[in-house]
Amino acid sequence: MQCVSTTMRLNSNASPQQNAIKNIIYYLCLKPTTLTKFRNKFRIESARLQNWDYGWKAKYFVTVVTKDRQHHLGKIIDGKIILSEIGKIVKHELVITPNIRADMNLNLDIFTVMPNHFHCIIEIDRNDYNRYENDLNSDYGCRDALQCVSNMQNKKYIPKWFEYIKPKNKFGPQSKNLGAILRGIKGTIKLQARKINPDFGWQTRFLDHIIRSETEYQSIKYYIINNPKNWFDDLFNNK
């Protein structure tokens, strides 16, 4: 993920909500990269939470950025987004995603399409693919998925059920999880967008963050809603 330098968008007048989300994006973008060797080749280690399966029930804050941060999706006028034809495609595909993947019991909580990226909160609720995890949470010390995230990050507690449930999002094909959802959205949009502009593309990766609390959820929601009118100070505004 290519990110804007932190020196470009610092604003002492930013609200606490804005600063909270900027801290999340700074962390995701700028966390030092760890390289490991596999079959005599170096590879980038995943920045994702270890032992967490991204098909499990949780709310996920997601950001997807266009290749080279090109402004293919629209423009901001008077603090409002005016979508291009490609931007309208993005909006449509986001709206219909829960219906397309009805078996995953998704909820598109909120989203905004910006000139060169989009933010959204995707909730994966209980479904047949994560039912095992949900049945075990209460038996092994986790009140819910968010508590498990907090415990694992603080290294306070690793639920016993991780001993015999193998997370499916390490390497190889992904299905019925966040990666599969975003891969489908990006691929469908790209296919349609290139009929309008053959140069359209996405950055290879996307930013994701597991929402851990109601306070964090409200801050992220506030940030997304107000993103267009705060475009001048946006981390991805390269103009």
Domains of the chain as residue ranges with CATH: 16-233 (3.30.70.1290)
| pLDDT higher than threshold 80 for residue 16 | no
Return the higher-pLDDT residue of 57 and 156: 57
Whole-Å CA distances, 222 to 155, 163, 219: 30, 38, 5
Q: pLDDT tier at 35 (50, 70, 90 boundaries)? A: very low
**What's the rounded Cα separation, in Å, for the pair 237 and 133?**
39
The neighbouring-strand residues paired with 119 are 63, 112
Return the higher-pLDDT residue of 75 and 169: 75
Residue 135: the pLDDT is 43
Q: Which residue, among 227, 169, 168, 213, has the nearest Cα to 59 in the 3D structure?
A: 213
Q: What is the pLDDT of residues 102-114, one digit of tens each?
A: 999 999 999 999 9
Q: pLDDT exceeding 90 applies to what percent of the chain?
A: 45
Greatest pairwise CA separation for the chain in angstroms = 54
Return the higher-pLDDT residue of 190 and 170: 190
| pLDDT higher than threshold 60 for residue 61 | yes
Q: What is the pLDDT of residues 114-137, one digit of tens each?
A: 999 999 999 999 888 876 554 444
